[in-house]
Structure formats: structure tokens, C-alpha cells
Structure 1
Amino acid sequence: MYIGLGIFLIVVGAILTFAIDASSVGGVDLQTIGWICMIAGVLAILLSLVLTNRRGVAGGGYSARRVSHSDPATGTRVDEVDVDRDGRV
């Protein structure tokens, strides 16, 4: 989820840090802003990887089962859904 944002921030930060010659514009140091963007990009990528692993491994995996059938007595459709232990479908 955050991998795309992280890559974008790293690219923008690298451009601000290494490709622009002006050291400051209007009292703002562009190289410092570039380093901050690159660090934020790395943190966004790491956060995305940690959250993905936590959902897949520590959560015990994800399983769901959905069954549909017709009730023979009334002829109405019945949907049954099994949820995991966190209450998610």
C-alpha cells in the first residue's frame, strides 16, 4: 500500500538533494527537504512490509468461506459466511 508512496518520496528526495544546484529557495534548504523525503520514503516502504507480514503471519493467515443454498421449505436463498477470529469476513 505504501510502497508506491515510498518510491515516490525517495525519487523526489533524490532529485531535491542531488539534482538541484540551489542550496536554498526562500530560506528553505532543499537538500534537507530532500533527505527528509528520502527517509520518509524508506520508512513508508518498511511500514508497508511490516504491516503485510503481520497480517499474513502473526494473524494466523486469512481464511473465509461463503456458502449459498436455497432453503427447501421456503425456497429463499440462504448465505452462510464463516469469519476468522478477528471478526473479519
Structure 2
Amino acid sequence: MTIAGSIILIMLGAILTWAVEFDLAGLDINVVGVILMLGGLVGLLFGIYRITVTRRAVGPIDEPVHRHDIYEEPEARRTTVYEERRHYDEPPL
């Protein structure tokens, strides 16, 4: 679950808990809202934890890699250039 999805769950749960005045037989909308808010909070904490672990695992780079160490110039290739010449005998109008 992403951080944005967790925030959406928290907002949806808050709306169901405090803004909706609807009754269903055998279902309490307020409890559903609280459950959604708690699920969103758990997802938000897990998403933040996952981001911090990922950033910490990368670590600093010890030595920079220079391009000339890796890349070698290819050998010169022969290329053929085609040139088109047109001669117009008629004068422009």
C-alpha cells in the first residue's frame, strides 16, 4: 500500500466516522470508519518504514566511476555519402 492510498483510507474512515449519519441493520458505520482509519495508519507507518529502509540500504558511493574507464571508442567506420545533384534547364517563372 502506498502512502497516498493510506492517506485516502484515513480520510475515508474519518468521513464515515464523523460526517455520515446513516444506519444499516447490523452494521455500524462509525466502527467501519475507525477500522479504515486504523488500517490507513498502519499502511502509512509501513510505507514510511519501507522508504527509510530503502534509502538507508543504498549507502554512499565510495569512488566515482569515470566514463573513459568503461567506454572505449569504436574503430573508425567507412561511410558512404550519397550526393544528389539536380540541374534544371528551364528558367524559373
The answer as to whether partners of 1:55 and 1:61 remain within 8 angstroms in 2 is no
Q: Give 1:44 shift.
A: 1.1
Specify which structure has the bigger relative contact order, considering alpha-carbon pairs within 8 angstroms and separated by 6 or more residues.
Answer: 2
Q: Percent identity?
A: 29
Q: Could you give the per-residue CA deviations for residues 21-58 of structure 1, whole angstroms, max 9, x where no partner exists? A: 22x3132111110000000111111111000000111x
Instruction: Provide structure 1 residue ranges, at least 5 long, that are not aligned to the other structure.
Output: 76-89
Q: Which has the larger share of strand?
A: 1
TM-score w.r.t. length of structure 1 = 0.63
| TM-score (ref. length: structure 2) | 0.61
How far off is 1:72 after superposition? Answer: 3.5
Matched, 1:27 2:23: no
1:8 aligns with 2:8: yes
Pairwise CA RMSD: 2.8
Number of residues of Structure 1 aligned to a counterpart in Structure 2: 72
Aligned residue in 2 for 1:87: none
- Structure (1 or 2) with the larger CA radius of gyration: 2
Whichever residue aligns with residue 13 of structure 1, its letter is G
Q: Is the 8 A contact 1:56 1:62 kept in 2?
A: no
Moved over 2 A (4+): 60-63, 67-73
